[in-house]
Amino acid sequence: MKAYFYDNLPGDQRLPHDSGKEVTVEDLQRLGVLYYRMPALEAVDSLAAERGYKNRDEITVSPEKMGDVYESKVKMFFDEHLHEDEEIRYIRDGAGYFDVRDKGDQWVRIQLVKDDLIILPAGIYHRFTTDETNYIQAMRLFKEEPKWTPLNRSGDLDTNPYRKEYVSQFLEAQS
């Protein structure tokens, strides 16, 4: 895992866009984003059990697997959105980037590789992209009823109760 501020320069979303300004695991934690290095699947099983996650699936995002729809899927994943539930991703192979908004609404880019696990809290604005290798395999964990519907960012979303809860818990509650 490596995290840094996104450079906001033009260019393909799959390029690193590394501004050189580093972001630490502790910085991520303050945003409610939890990172774990998990070489053992048993540890993922424990974490899932602790948090009440009963279901999982695996997705491969690559042109080989997705064919013609790959480019449009990758663009869709990159639309800024939030969910009304946690988003847990465990990288099984390949690599990719999750971008999350920080307190000042700046993009923080989190590079994940095999054996990295990330938990994004409900209500955080984020987006995902593959990198230049165009290949990632990830496990998606979910509870009984996944509320995975991506809600794309808009002014209206600021009144969403899950967004409001996230803002009060992580963005307002600290100096």
96 binds, among ligand KMT, Ni ion, none (CB under 5 to 8 A by kind): ligand KMT
Query: Cα separation of 82 and 53, whole Å?
Result: 19
141 binds, among ligand KMT, Ni ion, none (CB under 5 to 8 A by kind): none
In whole angstroms, how close is the CB of 173 to ligand KMT at the nearest point? 26
59 binds, among ligand KMT, Ni ion, none (CB under 5 to 8 A by kind): ligand KMT
Residue numbers belonging to the annotated binding site for Ni(2+)? 81, 83, 87, 126
The DSSP string of 22-64 is EE-HHHHHHTT-EEEE---HHHHHHHHHHTT--EEEEEEESHH
SS (H, E, C) 80-117: CEECCCCEEEEEEEEEEEEEEECCCCCEEEEEEECCEE
Query: Cα separation of 54 and 8, whole Å?
Result: 38
**Residues pairing with 35 in the sheet:** 118
Q: Can residue 44 be called a binding residue for ligand KMT (CB under 6 A)? A: no
Q: Can residue 123 be called a binding residue for ligand KMT (CB under 6 A)? A: no
Q: Can residue 59 be called a binding residue for ligand KMT (CB under 6 A)? A: yes
Q: Can residue 116 be called a binding residue for ligand KMT (CB under 6 A)? A: no
The two three-digit tokens of residue 169, written as one number: 């818990």
Q: Can residue 163 be called a binding residue for ligand KMT (CB under 6 A)? A: no
User: For ligand KMT, which residue of 61, 74, 118, 122 counts as binding (CB under 6 A)?
Assistant: 61
Site for ligand KMT in 134-153 (CB under 6 A): 136, 138, 140
The two three-digit tokens of residue 107, written as one number: 């993009």
Residues forming the site for ligand KMT (CB under 6 A): 59, 61, 77, 87, 89, 96, 128, 136, 138, 140
